[in-house]
C-alpha cells in the first residue's frame, strides 16, 4: 500500500492538488482491489447478463504482457 500511497501523492503533485490525510486515506480505501470488488459500480453486478460473459475482463493482473494474454 505504501507504493500506492506514493503514486497517489505524485498524481496530486502533478495536478497541483494537496490532499488532507483523511482524504488520502479515503482514496487509498476506495482504490483498493478489495473495495472495487465489493462496489457494485465497479464490479460485474450491474452489467446485464446478456452482456456479461465469463470471458469479460474488467481488471487485469497488471503483470507485464498481461494485456496480450487477455485478448
pLDDT tens string, the chain, 71 residues long: the values are: 568 899 999 999 999 999 999 999 999 988 887 887 777 776 667 777 776 666 666 566 666 665 565 55
Amino acid 40: pLDDT: 72
pLDDT at site 39: 76
- The number of helix segments (H) and strand segments (E) in the chain equals 4, 0
Locate all alpha helices (DSSP H) within the chain, ordered by sequence: 2-15, 21-30, 33-38, 66-70
pTM of the model: 0.52
Amino acid at each position: 500500500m505504501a507504493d500506492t500511497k506514493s503514486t497517489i501523492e505524485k498524481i496530486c503533485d502533478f495536478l497541483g492538488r494537496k490532499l488532507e490525510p483523511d482524504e488520502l486515506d479515503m482514496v487509498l480505501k476506495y482504490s483498493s482491489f478489495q473495495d472495487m470488488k465489493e462496489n457494485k459500480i465497479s464490479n460485474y453486478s450491474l452489467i446485464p447478463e446478456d452482456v456479461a460473459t465469463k470471458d469479460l475482463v474488467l481488471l487485469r493482473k497488471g503483470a507485464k504482457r498481461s494485456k496480450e494474454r487477455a485478448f
